[in-house]
Structure 1
């Protein structure tokens, strides 16, 4: 039986490797919320993590729409060097109660625009941090639809919502999972929503930093796993080629 030439086997291995990387790449290229989950009812600091997935253009704008079916009374942005944040508010059909006051409008959209000379270039990512609260207690997730604009005019619409039992959409909207809040300790009368906002921001920031680090570690582990698969495929292919060459030499 004729053996495959080593070059052909190496070519097959290269194709297999590129296929594995192509399948893995979308998991690393989405606009996401970090951390992926926070407790219901309180205040938390989260970050919209934006990767630049265009090799020939730079990201110059990010627009994030907040879910108005679950509005939040307090939305604050953390300064990002080289970027200007603007908040757009909308009237509420039903006022929110916050610290004994009626809130008749809430932030419905945040836009970050790169200042002159600032760009998010190819191969880079940036975190846009926001303090949110009080988070709703009557839903287990918040969906934030986002638009990512490049300096060549391209706009990526991260607005598709995942459906149960269906594959993940190509351009999924960032989703923040809300988990049940921890029950207060015995003798405590303060609720998360009634706690001081600054204290809530500090706690949320610590929580976000810890979980964002875990998310980053998880992403790194997945990347190394993919690289290991690729190396294994190539090594196996070259090993088979070597065995076939030795077998062919022995036979002759």
Structure 2
């Protein structure tokens, strides 16, 4: 009885459903944050990178994207080119944050930055933390290894080899790296309050000493004049 076409079709359909279920259960989660560029090549300068975060919430909009930069890209080498209305870029110690008013619920958050130069490597991973208006946070920070795909993978950009003759350029200095201004010879040094007080005290003592000496000299001169006048009077008598 198993040879009837009807039974054979039912067995085939059941097998197909089982295979499909196994395939779906084994399939890894798709990345919810992606990064793309039109020039994915090592050591390319002034590269535009576009990040897109897929909306996951049915009740809240995305308000912020925090990106950790890979080695070879400094936060000071990143400039914001395009973003949702009202969003701004803030540089951090190890990356940058782009955020502002929440985008519409169910709308992907897309922004573009310009990078001064891509490092000399074959791929770049941008760990990203996504924040929603209701406080929910999605962390896309796991680095894919081999054929295994993590549940919350970081967006990865694969690069072609650098062009012949391309070389790294120096990174832009940050504000904390700027040397402190040195005093010039034209600007006189300002004494400390304690030193100024001591100078004033010394000048006061010097003035009193000069006055005392002057009084002593005048007194001595008066005494000499009186003594001479007395002797003159004695001799005339």
TM-score (norm 2): 0.55
1:178 corresponds to: 159
TM alignment of 1:16-165, pairs within 5 A: 26-27=29-30, 29-35=31-37, 38-43=40-45, 44-67=47-70, 69-72=71-74, 74-90=77-93, 108-115=94-101, 118-122=102-106, 124-137=107-120, 139-164=121-146
Kindly report the root-mean-square deviation, in angstroms, between the aligned alpha carbons of the 2 structures: 3.5
Higher strand fraction (1 or 2): 1
Q: Identify unmatched segments of 5+ residues in structure 2.
A: 8-12, 170-237
**Structure possessing the higher relative contact order (Cα contacts under 8 Å, 6 or more residues apart):** 1
How many residues align structurally? Answer: 163
- The secondary structure found in structure 1 opposite 2:159 is strand
Determine the C-alpha separation between the residues in 1 that align with 2:86 and 2:27: 30
- The structure 1 segments of at least 4 consecutive aligned residues displaced by more than 6 Å after TM superposition are 1-4, 10-25
Asked whether the equivalents of residues 63 and 99 of structure 2 are also in contact (C-alpha less than 8 Å), the reply is: yes
Once the two structures are superposed, residues 49-101 of structure 1 have per-residue CA deviations (whole angstroms, 9 ceiling, x without a partner) of 1101223332221111112x3233621111324232222243xxxxxxxxxxx
TM-score (norm 1): 0.52
